[in-house]
Amino acid sequence: MKELVLALAVVAVVGGGGLAASDLAATPPPNAYGWNNTSVTVTISGVAPVFWRVNGGPEHSAPSPATFSLATEGVYLIEYRDSTEPDFRRATVRIDLTPPGGAVRVPESGGSYVLNQPLSADWSVWDTLSGIAGVRATADRGGPVDTRSPGQQAFTLRVQDRAGNEAEITSVYFVRGIIAPAFPSGFHLDRVLPPEEVANVGRYPLRARYTVGEEPQFGFLLLDYFGRVFSRAWPEISVVRVQFENGDEKYPLAGWYRVSFDPDRGYYFLVVPSEKLDVGIYDLWVLFGDGQFERIRIEFLPRP
């Protein structure tokens, strides 16, 4: 009795009469799990003619070798024989063309979390045909999500099914600090206008006034989930001159500065240079180093 081997596909010989002379080959052959993730060409050879049917459908016959394609996903039971065999032999071809699925619930895509906030990963994967073969994730389900660094972060889930199809799901989330004022003014500048004097100048409210030559002091605290000071961010300030033209505003750059953490003061601190600034309206565009942004409008007045 001739033995038929079709990779790891399940093959069974039905009936014992006669010499088994037909043969079946699948191209490409299945993987180690017995699955294909592409269409499969089936070739049946033997003493002509050869006969076959698929999933109990109508019987076909053709000269040897006969070929046909299986292009849609599913599990196919192929029964076949040649003219010398009274009984059909059987082989199974399995095709899965659909990538597996997955979802990341925590960290939520687009979600915002606080520095060092305790967070447990929550995700799931699924496959409706061949089944899951392997999963790789930034953190195990129930494991800690990284919130130790400020700014944009990514949590990645990679899943492969038993047919070799793969999917990658990425959840982009944000880790931010709690921004707190460092000055008695209750704001990020050493001085602010009283509430009754705050009014819009152009598109934004004017928050403070200085005389040309005075140097605004800028400072803030960046706290984590537990209220601890975080000192490893990279805040920046861009100083732009506000130019009003025909009801519109333009913002030519007047200076760019890194705000360093001052260990003696215990907060981020910068003296904003102003010796080259002219009288007028300016915006401080502040990037706090964790993805948060603030725009502060101030005015420089002529020297008395």
Please report which confidence band the pLDDT of residue 13 belongs to, taking 50, 70 and 90 as the band edges: very low
% of the chain beyond a pLDDT of 90: 90
Which helix H or strand E contains 180, and what residues bound it? strand 178-181
Measured at the alpha carbon of residue 195, what is the angle toward residues 184 and 261, in degrees to the nearest 5? 30
The more confidently predicted of residues 275 and 36 is 36
CATH code assigned to 179-301: 2.60.40.1930
% of the chain beyond a pLDDT of 70: 93
Please report which confidence band the pLDDT of residue 9 belongs to, taking 50, 70 and 90 as the band edges: very low
Q: Decide if pLDDT at 27 tops 60.
A: yes
Q: Decide if pLDDT at 116 tops 70.
A: yes
Q: Decide if pLDDT at 152 tops 80.
A: yes
What is the architecture of the domain spanning 101-175?
Sandwich (2.60)
CA dist., res. 264 & res. 125, Å (int)? 50
DSSP state of 143: S
Q: Decide if pLDDT at 63 tops 80.
A: yes
Tokens of 118: 């305790």
106 in Cβ contact with 86 (< 8 Å): no
The more confidently predicted of residues 139 and 6 is 139
- Return the HEC string of 185-196: CCCCECCCCCHH
Confidence (pLDDT) at 4: 35
Please report which confidence band the pLDDT of residue 6 belongs to, taking 50, 70 and 90 as the band edges: very low
* Cα 81 from chain centroid (whole Å): 51
Map out the domains of the chain as residue ranges. Answer: 11-95, 101-175, 179-301
- Kindly report, residue by residue over 278-287, the tens digit of the pLDDT: 999 999 999 9
Please report which confidence band the pLDDT of residue 14 belongs to, taking 50, 70 and 90 as the band edges: very low
Please report which confidence band the pLDDT of residue 19 belongs to, taking 50, 70 and 90 as the band edges: very low
CA dist., res. 189 & res. 215, Å (int)? 11
In the block, tokens 């972060």 appear at 153
Torsion region of 86: left, alpha or beta (phi above 0 gives left; psi -120 to 50 gives alpha): alpha
CA dist., res. 241 & res. 212, Å (int)? 14
Which helix H or strand E contains 112, and what residues bound it? strand 112-114
- Kindly report, residue by residue over 64-114, the tens digit of the pLDDT: 999 999 999 999 999 999 999 999 999 999 999 999 999 999 999 999 999
Fold of 11-95: Immunoglobulin-like (2.60.40)
Asked whether the domain spanning 179-301 has the same topology as the one spanning 101-175, the reply is yes
Type of residue found at 149: S
